[in-house]
Amino acid sequence: MADLPDPMTPADCDLRDFQFMPLDIVRLFGSEFHAVASDAAWRAGVTLWLKSFHQVPAASIPNDDLQLTRLAELGRDVKTWLKIKKQALHGWIECGDGRLYHPVVAEKANEAWQRKSIQRERSKKGNAARWGAGTHPAHESGSRKSVGEDAANVLQGANESQKDSQKECLNDSFKGSQRESFKDSLRDSQRDSFKDRKGQGQGQRQRQGQEEELKKDGDGGKFGADKSQKPPSAAGAAASPQPRGSRLDAGWELPKSWGDWALAEFPDWTPDTARLEAAKFADYWHAKAGKDGAKLDWLATWRNWCRNARPSVCAVTTNRQEALEIRNRAVADSWLREKAMVTA
> Residues 158-204: pLDDT tens digits?
445 445 545 554 555 445 555 565 566 666 666 665 555 555 555 55
Of the ranges 103-107, 122-126, 213-217, the best mean pLDDT one = 103-107
The Cα-based distances of 269 to 192, 256, 257, 293, 302 in angstroms read: 48, 15, 15, 27, 15
DSSP 266-310: -TT--HHHHHHHHHHHHHHHHH--SGGG-BS-HHHHHHHHHHHHH
Of the ranges 15-29, 126-140, 179-193, the best mean pLDDT one = 15-29
CB atoms inside a 10 Å sphere around CB 183? 10
The vertex-244 CA angle with 238 and 247, nearest 5°, equals: 130
Domain boundaries, the chain: 25-158, 207-343
Amino acid, single-letter form, for residue 264: A
Query: 176, 196, 174, 173: which is closest to 184 by C-alpha?
Result: 176
> Residues 267-318: pLDDT tens digits?
888 989 989 999 999 999 899 888 888 898 999 999 998 999 865 544 455 5
Of the ranges 60-74, 234-248, 323-337, the best mean pLDDT one = 60-74
Q: Torsions phi, psi of 63, nearest 5?
A: -95, 65
> Residues 36-94: pLDDT tens digits?
899 999 999 999 999 999 999 998 999 999 999 999 999 989 999 999 999 999 999 99
